Amino acid sequence: MILVLNGPNLNMLGKREPHIYGNTTLEDLEELCEGWAVELGVGAVCRQSNFEGQLLEWVQHAQEEDFSGIVINPGALTHYSYALRDALSSQPLPVVEVHLSNVDSRESFRHVSVTAAVCKGKISGLGALGYKFAMEYLLEGR
Ligand code: DQA
């Protein structure tokens, strides 16, 4: 089972800056992830929160909840949350960071990720497909 986490403001997908994030809603994105997981022969549990502490708790308990890996789009927490970074680095499960938009082509504050260094890798700018590729990576060598 893969845990797919979306952070702050990602509940606004579809309404929020569609020229950047597209028209796909969070519900669509979660359905896509669940469908891709089925194709990959695994389950996916998708969760979103606007609250940093809630995301920390999901990350902290992912192993005891029997997940085998985490796909996370931390939203803006990417750029400054050392608390999330610490939670990710204490979690033994493999984690892939995903961004819908190409953060490196946007404002300079988005070029910094404090979380990516404690993840296996980062996928940015490929839209919803980034979540699929992240899941595929996590299932390699299963
Ligand atoms: C984002 C990029 C972040 O910079 C931004 O704060 C988000 C979404 C993305 O998916 O492109 O909320 O993580």
Residue type, 35: G
pTM confidence score: 0.97
Model confidence at 111, in pLDDT bands (50, 70, 90)? very high
pLDDT, residue 16, reads 84
22-62 per-position pLDDT tens digit? 899 999 999 999 999 999 999 999 999 999 999 999 999 99
Q: Is 80 a catalytic residue?
A: no
Q: Is 99 a catalytic residue?
A: yes
Q: Where are the domains of the chain?
A: 2-140
d(CA 114, CA 94): 17
- Going from the Cα of 101 to the center of ligand 1, the distance in angstroms, rounded, reads 7
d(CA 1, CA 37): 9
Q: Which of these is catalytic: 19, 61, 82, 99?
A: 99
Q: What is the mean pLDDT of the chain?
A: 97
78-94 per-position pLDDT tens digit? 999 999 999 999 999 99
CATH superfamily membership of 2-140: Dehydroquinase, class II (3.40.50.9100)
Ligand 1: residue of 50, 72, 98, 100 to mutate (most ligand atoms within 8 A of CB) is 100
